[in-house]
Amino acid sequence: MAFQITFHHMSNFSNSSYVSTSYANDVRNQPMLWTHGRKDSRVVSNESVLGFDLTGQESVNDAFKMADCDFSIVRTPTAFMGLDGYQEIEGVKTLVREDNYNRLAEVSDTYSILQPADLMEFTKQIIKIYPNSKLTNLINFNRDKRIYGVLDLGTKEVTGPNDTVSNRLHWFNSNDLSTSFGCMFTSQRLQCCNQLSSFTGRMFRDAKSSGKAFSMKHSAGIQNYIKYLPNLINREKSQFDGVINDLKELAKVKLTGEIGNKVIQEIYKEKLATPIYDHSIKDKRDRTIADIKELDTIRKHFKSGFAIEDTAFKDESTGRIIEPSNCYRFYNAISQFYTHDTGRANAATNNILRTQQRLNSLYHGDNGKIINRTREVLMNCI
């Protein structure tokens, strides 16, 4: 077997964990990832850019093959260039993709590999337990270093037939040691593909301590993952009606200047606390809301609405007239900006790189935190 020369590699994904939305649903701060596009949508999701969209009719084996996720992982000796040529490093092996020797990670001799075939079996078990579920997206991310799958568990309307939200189960696994294997549940607005929040920091720790989240090492074995699924999925499906009701409540509240300013002041409080250089006075001054450049695009998104009613409409359950300028529309405008419009300037000409940066920030960084803050403030205002 050939030697593998090592080098350090920084993954686009940090070492963090994920969790079911059940915990957040209980505290009225539901994580919402509106992340998967559909062909008749004007917006394409980050996952659709990076991954492979499926119809849900393909067999699991065929889906993995179509998305280039059906490879095997093998261990190879690890070596460095010494004075007398290549020297093998004892106790360290390099994981590579078997068919093309693409390097994935350096591991110990005893490291347990979770193979893509294990992920196929996991997906088959989900569909066996819930026959109506459909595999809708697979991502082979960072050249085989991460695999990500999405299954649709059902869809409901919010403000009308063109405004539908889907309940999703996501599983994820890294082959470069950046994360363990795990599952999360999200809600997806099909029309605009916006992400509306994610778990980070203390919320994950609290959820895990209360038994509403789990993460497992590869050594635990795929059967240990599968046994957690029925309770997790049943709990999450029962919470989905609560998610839809909360979104409907946001749609019933007219956005006022007071609510809008409260949200902006909260999500940009760090930026507003930093002075800005004013060329007109050639000196620094306090930063104001008028200096927040992101708001120009957010206002455009709020005006467009993306299938949220452009005129007042009637809530069929109460007979109440709903104004188009509501908190639900505002929430979508902000989440749309942080789902689709961010990314470092040096990546502007590379759509894949920019999308990877956005996805990383949505799940692990500032974009996800801002969306979390937006939802929390709006839910506290109604």
Rounded Cα–Cα distance for residues 365 and 148 (Å): 18
Position with higher pLDDT, 284 vs 192: 284
Which pLDDT band, with edges at 50, 70 and 90, does 154 fall under? confident
Backbone angles phi, psi at 287, to 5 degrees: -80, 140
Strand partners for 156: 165
- pLDDT reported for residue 304: 81
Among 72, 106, 82, 113, residue whose Cα is nearest residue 92: 106
Q: How many residues does the chain have?
A: 382
Encode pLDDT of 247-258 as tens digits: 888 888 889 999
Mean per-residue pLDDT of the chain = 75
The answer to whether residues 54 and 135 touch, using CB atoms and an 8 Å cutoff, is: yes
Amino acid identity of residue 14, one-letter, is S
- Per DSSP, the residues of 182-198 read EEEEEEEETTT--B---
Which tokens sit at 4? 């593998």
Instruction: Write out the DSSP string of 326-366.
Output: BHHHHHHHHHHHHHHS---GGGTT-HHHHHHHHHHHHHHSH
Q: Which residue has tokens 């593909």?
A: 193
Burial (Cβ within 10 Å: 0-12, 13-18, ≥19) of residue 81: exposed
Residues 167, 240: contact at Cβ < 8 Å? yes
| DSSP state letters, 181-237 | BEEEEEEEETTT--B-----THHHHHHHHTTS---B-GGG-HHHHHTTHHHHHHHHH
Residue among 182, 192, 165 nearest 305 (CA): 192
What pLDDT, on a 0 to 100 scale, did the predictor assign at position 307?
58
Q: Give, in degrees to the nearest 5, the angle at Cα 332 between 262 and 307.
A: 140
Burial 334-343 (b: 16+ CB within 10 A, else e): bbbbbbbebb
pLDDT attached to residue 221: 65
Please check whether residue 149 is in contact with residue 137, taking contact to mean a CB–CB distance below 8 angstroms: yes
pLDDT, residue 198, reads 41
Nearest Cα neighbor of 259 from 297, 296, 302, 300 is 302
The answer to whether residue 149 scores a pLDDT higher than 50 is yes
Residue 34 scores a pLDDT above 50:
no
CA angle 142/146/150 to nearest 5° reads 115
Span 274-325, pLDDT tens digits: 999 999 999 999 999 999 999 999 999 888 876 565 555 666 667 777 778 8
Q: What is the pTM of this model?
A: 0.70
d(C-alpha 47, C-alpha 339), whole Å: 11
pLDDT at residue 61 in the model: 95
| Among 174-188, 255-269, 344-358, the least confident range | 344-358
CA 59 to chain centre: 25
Least confident residue range of 6-10, 87-91, 286-290: 6-10
Please state, in angstroms and rounded to a whole number, the distance separating the CA atoms of residues 338 and 332: 10
Could you report the per-residue pLDDT of 126-142, keeping only the tens digit for each?
Answer: 898 888 899 999 989 88
Among 75-79, 192-196, 223-227, 371-375, name the most confident range: 75-79
Contact 196, 33 (CB under 8 A): yes
Instruction: Report the SS3 class of residue 177.
Output: coil
Number of other CB atoms surrounding residue 285 within 10 Å: 12
Choice among 61-65, 144-148, 165-169, 272-276 with the minimum mean pLDDT: 165-169
